[in-house]
Structure 1
């Protein structure tokens, strides 16, 4: 790469620092972390979303954990040993000021390195800000020809290119960095912006230069799944592609990378594991209640695609691990898949963009008609809560075709709700329960949708009537991410509304019964051990009762239980189904019973490095098997969460409809096609 290319590359990478600085300022402003200095170093205030706040919070806590561990270990060394923190690609980070204000630099000093323009700008900002100068003490600002931009007794800022190691060596020597002293090298989302050979040289250089050191990196991983593909595309669009992810796609490859470069020991965690295992429960609860939040899938997927790694050298820093080993491994991949289920794009849906949505609901009105409504998606060239209905219908030649229904026959109006349920009452009538407009604004009331079509089935003549459904007095809560399942009690048809979230309850555990014939809420006794509250679980009818699987609990922990609400004479009874091997905890999946087997389709899990496919549970034996989805014939990526699905038992097919999400700061993604899974291999016994 020539000089102009390097300058362009440096500029785009520097822009990621500006975005990060603004996010860290917003993070502190909303109470996630204590940082009085982020606002002094960032150029202007900005309001980030709760999802981005959470992402930057767990990053900040993971780095904080490593820095505090380093200072704790080196602080126990005999005086006058002085520890060193060398922050590579430090940007506008406030690490030095936070440590100094907390009194943690009595026997330590901080060096920072970034591109010359970034470092000089930071030095000038510090010099112009009395609150920052008060902490640094007497300082000097370097001239434009010097690599040393700022210098005080315990803080140095250098302008240097990490790709030019001889110059970096020279600059660090000139700034007084002692290679023999215990040193923490910190690189937050830095190595990934270097070409693999440059990053490898930097890792090896650090191992050779510092005999007693800890190298901590925070970076992306898992480029090959759907979320990883969206992440890669995002950084390509910013002209700052992520390098090395194909060479080092997972934690084990990252560990080997450092060990082979001369580091003595190395451990790494993805941020789900760090958050669940190394943050106290009361701190997690504090963070989880700071802002209304309902983007759990993207939160967990983001954390699954970032990791924190600590590699060490020397007796001082290699004896005590930065990440203490947990009693039980967090990652527990399922057994080898029992097989594959082939997938194909549904013919005729290629140009239909109206099903690019998530958080919607779909219902099979008849064997050849699937009706979808609600969710967040694409409409009239923008991303919004979708107001148009969608009909997926099968023609005489067995081809599926999608069409929008935007006409309303009455004054009724779809209110734009998400995470609701829809239940078929007849071939032309659907009941909508629950849902939300925002995490603090539940949808009001139940809706009845009446579908009308012309005699010739012309899409332009299709219409829907939206009316408010009048339900009798009862226990229905304004909730979302719940389930609605058809059950039978004393030969009467009821709808079981179970679980969900509400404005006041993070996970509901109530069973509510709606008598279909009278549309009245009815109290029916439920016995047995009440399962913990959950939302985003799956539910489907079986033997007059309901099978409930997975979900997200009150503590935002994915669940692995499979429960059966069994009808027994004058009541229902909770039973736990013993599944072997136990299913991997998951949520945001769909479920169907097919040939005596419970199928759990897609979803999100955090305890496995793989991507959920279809879990098949034999309801007679309790034996579970994992099936991967063969996506060779499906345009990639395919995200199987916040989707809907429809079982076509006679065709031995399962249609996957919609799905996707707001992928952290990488943009919103929608599955572009309806996909059919071939279930014929599951027809016989397991």
Structure 2
């Protein structure tokens, strides 16, 4: 890399500090953390999305956990040397001011290092802000030629490049850093922006330099799965690529990295585990209630791709792991792979709009016609709630063609809802239940979609009319992320509506039966233990009843249960399906029954580092097996959550439609193509 390219990349990396600082300021403004100084250190304000707030919240709590662990072990001990915090790549972070105002620096001091222009800009900001100067006390400013930009009794800001370790070492010593004293080295999303050799040298230097040290880093990992690929693409586009992820893709390799560099103890966990095991339940509940939120998939995926690590040396820390293993977050790895399911793009050379959306619903109208409606996606060159329907029609044995269709006539306007269900009533009628317009606005009322074709039965001029169904005042269903399954009772067809969430209830454990012929809600006896409430589960018909699998529970924890709403003489009975080996807890997947086997397709899980493929459960024996999806011939990444799937049993195929999500601060991703899975290898099955 030439000097000019390196300079541009340094500027891009520094710009990530500005974005991060604004996010931290927004985080404090919304009450996630207590920080009155963040807004003073960065000019301007911006309100971030709830998903970004959650991401920065768990980061702040994880780093704060390490800092307080360090201070508890080192401060207030009369015989000990003064503790030190060395923040590498500190940017505009308010750590010093938060610790000082809380009285935590009576026995400690803080050094900060960042690029010279970042350090000077922060020093100027402090000098020009009386509220900050009141915290630092008397201070001095370094001259333009000096690395020291700001100095007070317990606070130093240095402008240095972390790749120049000899100069860094000299500057730290010159400003009073005691290498023998207990020292916390903190690097939040810093080392990953250095070339791997530079970061390796820095880690080894720190191990030699601080014999009584604790090194804490917060960084990205898991670069090879779908979310990891999109994450890397984002930073590439910002000209600040993530380095070293191929060498150290998981927490185990990161721990080895530090141990081999001279650190004597090391522990690392991802943010899902930290959130579940190191934050009290009441604090999690407080945070979860701060803002309306409905992006659980991306929240868990973001947490799965960031980790916190603490490596230590010396008597103060060597026998204590900052993150000991916890039984509260057991790893539930899927069974060993039983086979591969080939995936291919459907009709990639056929003219017609792609189905780029998520949170939609899809239904098979007839063997050659699939309707998808609603969701969030691309329409007319922008991202929005989608108001146009998408029809996928087969026009020869192996080819499908896409078409967008608008609703028409004097009926109800289609509202482009998300997380609803669509159920086929006939070749020309579809029932729409539930959904939402926003996390605080449910889509009310039962809708029917009516289809009208040309006389030649062509889909070229197929039209859709939307009407309301059922009583006008009916408010039985104001939920989303629920399921709707066809069941039978006394030779009558009913729709079993189960689970979901509402504006006021994070999960629902109740259910309703809708009599299809009269469109009336009816009561049918259901016996057995009431299942745990859930949303984003899967449901499919089987033997006149309904199979319910997985979902997200009340504590935002993925579930592993598979339940059968079994028809009995006097109604239905809840039964638990015993599965061996147990399946990994998951949600936001789809499900189908094929030849007596339950197929769980994709989804999100947090108890395993692998990526969900297709879990196959033999409903007779209860035996489960795992199949990977071969994406060799599919554009990567393929995100299998918030998608829909259609089973074509005669062809032994599964069509995957849409999927994706708003991926933290990295942008919104939509699967670009409709994909088919070849299920023929499942005929023998487990």
TM over 0.5: yes
Pairwise mapping of residues 138-537 of structure 1 onto structure 2 (< 5 A)?
A: 138-327=138-327, 330-348=330-348, 352-406=352-406, 408-456=408-456, 459-471=459-471, 476-537=476-537
Preserved contact between residue 349 and residue 401 of structure 1 (Cα < 8 Å): no
User: Could you give the per-residue CA deviations for residues 175-203 of structure 1, whole angstroms, max 9, x where no partner exists?
Assistant: 11111111100000000000111111111
Cα drift, residue 10 of structure 1: 1.6
Label 1:383 to 1:474 Cα distance change in 2 as closer, same or farther (>3 A): closer
Label 1:401 to 1:204 Cα distance change in 2 as closer, same or farther (>3 A): same
Aligned equivalent of 2:44:
44
Cα drift, residue 173 of structure 1: 1.1
Tell me whether 1:73 sits opposite 2:73 in the alignment. Answer: yes
Q: So what's the TM-score if we normalise by structure 1?
A: 0.98
Whole-Å Cα distance in 1 between the matches of residues 49 and 328 of structure 2?
34
User: Could you give the per-residue CA deviations for residues 22-44 of structure 1, whole angstroms, max 9, x where no partner exists?
Assistant: 00000000000000110111111
Cα drift, residue 395 of structure 1: 1.0
Aligned equivalent of 1:657:
657
Whole-Å Cα distance in 2 between the matches of residues 473 and 50 of structure 1?
33
Whole-Å Cα distance in 2 between the matches of residues 376 and 329 of structure 1?
33
Aligned equivalent of 1:635:
635
Aligned equivalent of 2:26:
26
Preserved contact between residue 267 and residue 324 of structure 2 (Cα < 8 Å): no
Aligned equivalent of 1:564:
564
- Tell me whether 2-11 or 645-654 shows the greater mean CA deviation: 2-11
Preserved contact between residue 353 and residue 402 of structure 2 (Cα < 8 Å): no
Preserved contact between residue 26 and residue 47 of structure 1 (Cα < 8 Å): yes
Preserved contact between residue 471 and residue 521 of structure 1 (Cα < 8 Å): no
Cα drift, residue 367 of structure 1: 1.1
Cα drift, residue 348 of structure 1: 4.7
Cα drift, residue 632 of structure 1: 0.9
Aligned equivalent of 2:56:
56
Cα drift, residue 339 of structure 1: 0.9
Could you say what secondary structure the match of 1:584 adopts? coil
Whole-Å Cα distance in 1 between the matches of residues 587 and 179 of structure 2?
49
Preserved contact between residue 394 and residue 400 of structure 1 (Cα < 8 Å): yes
Cα drift, residue 415 of structure 1: 0.5
- Tell me whether 421-430 or 163-172 shows the greater mean CA deviation: 163-172
User: Could you give the per-residue CA deviations for residues 34-71 of structure 1, whole angstroms, max 9, x where no partner exists?
Assistant: 00110111111110000000000000000000000011
Whole-Å Cα distance in 2 between the matches of residues 598 and 230 of structure 1?
30
Could you say what secondary structure the match of 1:318 adopts? coil
Preserved contact between residue 490 and residue 570 of structure 1 (Cα < 8 Å): no
Whole-Å Cα distance in 2 between the matches of residues 556 and 329 of structure 1?
13
- Tell me whether 455-464 or 186-195 shows the greater mean CA deviation: 455-464
Cα drift, residue 239 of structure 1: 0.6
Aligned equivalent of 1:131:
131
Aligned residues: 686
Aligned equivalent of 2:573:
573
Label 1:211 to 1:80 Cα distance change in 2 as closer, same or farther (>3 A): closer
Whole-Å Cα distance in 2 between the matches of residues 391 and 276 of structure 1?
42
Preserved contact between residue 76 and residue 107 of structure 2 (Cα < 8 Å): no
Whole-Å Cα distance in 1 between the matches of residues 67 and 348 of structure 2?
56
Aligned equivalent of 1:613:
613
Cα drift, residue 324 of structure 1: 2.5
Aligned equivalent of 2:100:
100
- Tell me whether 169-178 or 374-383 shows the greater mean CA deviation: 169-178
Cα drift, residue 289 of structure 1: 0.4
Cα drift, residue 76 of structure 1: 6.1
Whole-Å Cα distance in 1 between the matches of residues 503 and 428 of structure 2?
32
- Tell me whether 410-419 or 527-536 shows the greater mean CA deviation: 410-419
Whole-Å Cα distance in 2 between the matches of residues 113 and 659 of structure 1?
42
**Superposed CA RMSD:** 1.4
Cα drift, residue 648 of structure 1: 0.5
Preserved contact between residue 409 and residue 463 of structure 1 (Cα < 8 Å): no
- Tell me whether 316-325 or 140-149 shows the greater mean CA deviation: 316-325
Whole-Å Cα distance in 1 between the matches of residues 563 and 131 of structure 2?
58
Could you say what secondary structure the match of 2:633 adopts? coil
Label 1:348 to 1:39 Cα distance change in 2 as closer, same or farther (>3 A): closer
Cα drift, residue 684 of structure 1: 2.1
Preserved contact between residue 143 and residue 149 of structure 2 (Cα < 8 Å): yes
Cα drift, residue 455 of structure 1: 3.8
Aligned equivalent of 1:667:
667
Could you say what secondary structure the match of 2:23 adopts? helix
Cα drift, residue 404 of structure 1: 1.0
Tell me whether 1:539 sits opposite 2:542 in the alignment. Answer: no
Preserved contact between residue 302 and residue 663 of structure 1 (Cα < 8 Å): yes
Preserved contact between residue 445 and residue 477 of structure 2 (Cα < 8 Å): no
Cα drift, residue 477 of structure 1: 2.6
Label 1:77 to 1:352 Cα distance change in 2 as closer, same or farther (>3 A): farther
Cα drift, residue 81 of structure 1: 1.5
Preserved contact between residue 433 and residue 477 of structure 2 (Cα < 8 Å): no
Preserved contact between residue 214 and residue 313 of structure 1 (Cα < 8 Å): yes
Whole-Å Cα distance in 1 between the matches of residues 87 and 493 of structure 2?
65
Preserved contact between residue 407 and residue 413 of structure 2 (Cα < 8 Å): no
Label 1:351 to 1:28 Cα distance change in 2 as closer, same or farther (>3 A): farther
User: Could you give the per-residue CA deviations for residues 443-501 of structure 1, whole angstroms, max 9, x where no partner exists?
Assistant: 02111001222244555412100111124887723000000000011111000000001
Whole-Å Cα distance in 1 between the matches of residues 396 and 561 of structure 2?
42
Preserved contact between residue 349 and residue 402 of structure 1 (Cα < 8 Å): no
User: Could you give the per-residue CA deviations for residues 534-588 of structure 1, whole angstroms, max 9, x where no partner exists?
Assistant: 0000000011100000000111010011001111112211111111111111000
Cα drift, residue 157 of structure 1: 0.4
- Tell me whether 438-447 or 327-336 shows the greater mean CA deviation: 327-336
- Tell me whether 172-181 or 356-365 shows the greater mean CA deviation: 172-181
Cα drift, residue 246 of structure 1: 1.0
Whole-Å Cα distance in 2 between the matches of residues 24 and 352 of structure 1?
43
Preserved contact between residue 354 and residue 404 of structure 1 (Cα < 8 Å): no
Whole-Å Cα distance in 1 between the matches of residues 44 and 458 of structure 2?
54
Whole-Å Cα distance in 1 between the matches of residues 22 and 178 of structure 2?
33
Label 1:86 to 1:350 Cα distance change in 2 as closer, same or farther (>3 A): farther
Preserved contact between residue 348 and residue 400 of structure 1 (Cα < 8 Å): no
Whole-Å Cα distance in 2 between the matches of residues 609 and 117 of structure 1?
39
- Tell me whether 234-243 or 473-482 shows the greater mean CA deviation: 473-482
Could you say what secondary structure the match of 1:315 adopts? coil
Q: So what's the TM-score if we normalise by structure 2?
A: 0.98
Whole-Å Cα distance in 2 between the matches of residues 259 and 483 of structure 1?
48
